[in-house]
Structure formats: structure tokens, C-alpha cells
Amino acid sequence: MQPAFTALFMLLFVLLCFLGILANGFIVLVLSREWRRLGRLLPSDMILMSLGASRFCLQWIGMVYNFYSFFHPGEFSKGPAQELFGLQWEFLNSATFWFGTWLSVLFCMKIANLTHPTFLWLKWRFPRSVPWLLLGSLLISTVVSLLFFWGNYAVNQGFFIREVYENMTYMERVNMIE
């Protein structure tokens, strides 16, 4: 690609990333001030703050990952950076998924107009269990990301240790997929 287009797309990428970082940072900042002022948060605000913080970190990790892999492709593919970025990416992506799910469930509970006793009990009980659900989501995200990290590490080590005696086109294709 021509250097002018590359620079234009990089600038656009950075601007969009910073827009996401600023938006999520603003959400976290406003909710943190409210938490400090009042001493507690509503369940929806707890979920929004967790979601904003995870999206903020995810945006930074994605931006640093892309620039590091672009400017240092040799080090990136051979060093531990790819695995460490993958571990952080997997954790934050999983946490963002869980927090978004809990926010959807909470809003569904708020707008649903069902009168079944089980649903009414759940509607009454759910807001009090939000902190435990968020902590459980963090625990599940940690376990899932560690399992993916160990699995990917074992696969990568097994692939790079053995010597492959195939033709060059196969190796080129494998390197491109990597």
C-alpha cells in the first residue's frame, strides 16, 4: 500500500480509537465521581462503570497491539508479545461480553411487564446480586483467558519446535495464517 494511504488510515484508526477511549473514560469518570460523592452506586451504574472500564482498557490494548504488530512484525511473531497481548485481549473481551450481557438482563428486567411469581422474585432479587455477578464474571473471564492462553501457548510451541518438511508454498501459507 502507498505510504500516504497507510498514514491516512493510521491517523483515522488512531482518531477512532481515541474517540472510543474518551467516551468510555468519560463514563467511568462520571460514575466514579458519583460513587465517591454518594458512597454507593445503582446496579445499572455498577454495570455501566464495569463495562466502560473494560471497554477503555480493551481499546488501549487493541491500539497498542495493532501498532506493535505493524512496526515490529519480526519481534511480534517470534517473541512472547503476541501471547501476552492475546491473554489481555481475551480477558478484556470476555469481561466486556459478560458485562454487556448483565446490562441487557438488567434492562430486560426493568422494562418487562410479566406477573409470573418467578419473574417477580427474580426482578426483586437481581439488583442486589449485581456486585456478585460482576465479580463472578471477572472470575470466569480470568479462567477462560488463562485456558486459552495455555492452549494457544502449547499449540504454538508444538508448531515451532518440530521441523516441517513440506514444500515452500505450504510454509508460506502457514506463516501468512500465523
The whole-number pLDDT of residue 159 equals: 56
CB 85 within 8 A of CB 153: no
pLDDT at 153 over 80: no
pTM above 0.85, yes or no: no
What percentage of the chain carries pLDDT values higher than 70?
84
What percentage of the chain carries pLDDT values higher than 90?
50
d(CA 90, CA 77): 18
The whole-number pLDDT of residue 45 equals: 94
Q: Which DSSP state fits 163? A: P
Q: pLDDT tens-digit profile of 118-136?
A: 888 888 888 889 999 999 9
Nine-digit cell at 3? 505510504
Q: Which residue, 96, 104, 75, 72, is CA-closest to 144?
A: 96
Query: H/E/C letters for each residue in the chain?
Result: CCHHHHHHHHHHHHHHHHHHHHHHHHHHHHHHHHHHHHCCCCHHHHHHHHHHHHHHHHHHHHHHHHHHHHHCHHHHHHCCHHHHHHHHHHHHHHHHHHHHHHHHHHHHHHHCCCCCHHHHHHHHHHHHHHHHHHHHHHHHHHHHHHHHHHHHHHHHHHHHHCCCCCCHHHHHHHHHHC
Q: pLDDT tens-digit profile of 84-94?
A: 888 899 999 99
Q: pLDDT tens-digit profile of 47-98?
A: 999 999 999 999 999 999 888 888 887 777 776 777 788 889 999 999 999 9
Q: How far, in Å, are 10, 57, 95, 109, 162 from residue 21 at the CA level?
A: 16, 8, 17, 29, 42
The whole-number pLDDT of residue 177 equals: 57
